[in-house]
Amino acid sequence: MTRAPDVIVVGAGVVGLSAALEAQARGLRVRVIDREGPAAGASAGNAGAFAFTDILPLASPRIIRQAPKWLLDPLGPLSVPPAYALRIAPWMLRFWRASWPAQVAASTKAQTVMMRLAKSTLDPFLERAGLAQMLRREGNLQVYEGAREFNASLPGWDMRAAAGIEFTHLTGDRIAERQPGLAPRFTHATFTPGWFSINDPKEYTLALADRVRANGGEIVIAEATALTPDGVETSQGPMQGRVVLAAGAHSHHLARTANLRIPLETERGYNTTLPHDAFDLRCQITFGGHGFVVTSLGSGIRVGGAVELGGLDAPPNYARADAMLKKAAAFLPGLKTTGGVQWMGFRPSLPDSLPAIGPLPGCGNVICAFGHGHLGLTQSTGTARIVADLLTDQTPGIDLAPFSPARFTRAP
């Protein structure tokens, strides 16, 4: 790129690179900067799902009821290391408030609108990028251990039905027809055909980076250290241009340099990727009561999930990955658990389960695009469309008020 960029995207994950491509499609010159390079974070190790049916916020009465039991198990679906408990207490208070019924209803409504936008933009985006062949339409199977767990899920399915989401409840032999090899303890299941996946999230994100370069964009390895009135300060010196802040779990640190606090927390996710022949997986399986999924990717069979609210600095606790793999072997008796590769990554999570998308308060040149939690890949193309609209002074197709970064900010 011989001329200065119009736009500097901070973050070379799936959200940042998708936004970069959409900006290029509007005729803007783009530079992407990242401390490590493309696909170095959660975009590389996620479950590869476009979970368009996942409209229910993590902050909910159901999670609040389950949380005490989960927190008692240091290797369970939700954990907070004791050394981090005091630091995360203000975030947990916001999370609790976001679980009140009125807030849950508002978050579900906003998430439903966002999911519709994301789903409508996915196929056109992939076609323009020449990556449509990477999309898999195998659906998702949510499984339940007994009628009690299944019945507890029904209010959530009623909410999805009201949102027009297609699904089918299954029992007995119909579960085995959809996915052979499940342990008989799973007596009920729900199949959602509108849950897609990408062949491999790392390969997909790297392919997005290749498309950005092919379109004349730059991707620079540099650490963004501070937002400035006309751009961003970096380890490679100052850069001028409008800024898209898509730095994932590090985004709130940059926001602080503009004297704004955003309560972004880090969900540390773990997984193990097994060889392709580990199991005959017909679709992604969600073990919701245990907080993890098993999914088939181009790189193998991935077993991962759970939430460890432990910040950015503590070393990985791979015993969590081992615990999930042990459960997966019990739930899928034919699963071969040898030869796996473990991974840990950071998911950027806001207390109300909604991302921060829109102008950073007090910084007219900065557009936020972070905080998607488990849904970064899912909402990447929808977020990219919104960002491109804002960069070109177009009116976004959805109301951004529920996603505004200003909903949490306050001066230090």
What are the tens digits of pLDDT across the range 82-122? Answer: 888 899 999 999 999 999 999 999 999 999 999 999 999 99
Three-class DSSP labels, 341-379? EEEEEEEEECCCCCCEEEEECCEEEEEEEECEHHHCCCC
Q: Examine domains 1-57+100-135+195-264+350-412 and 58-99+136-194+265-349 and report if their fold is the same.
A: no
Tokens of 346: 């950071």
What are the tens digits of pLDDT across the range 139-150? Answer: 999 999 999 999
What are the tens digits of pLDDT across the range 267-307? Answer: 899 999 999 999 999 999 999 999 999 999 999 999 998 88
The whole-number average pLDDT for the span 20-28 is 98
Please, what is the average pLDDT of the chain?
Answer: 93
Domain ranges of the chain: 1-57+100-135+195-264+350-412, 58-99+136-194+265-349
Provide the whole-model pTM.
Answer: 0.95
Residue range 58-99+136-194+265-349 forms a domain whose CATH class is: alpha beta
Which pLDDT score is estimated for 72? 67
pLDDT higher than threshold 60 for residue 12 = yes
Q: At what angle do helices 101-129 and 201-214 cross, to 10 degrees?
A: 60
What are the tens digits of pLDDT across the range 315-366? Answer: 999 999 999 999 999 999 999 999 999 999 999 999 999 999 999 998 889 9
Compare 161 and 309 and report the one with higher pLDDT.
161
Compare 4 and 342 and report the one with higher pLDDT.
342
- When the candidates are 3.20.20.210, 3.40.640.10, 3.50.50.60, 3.40.50.12500, the CATH number that belongs to 1-57+100-135+195-264+350-412 is 3.50.50.60
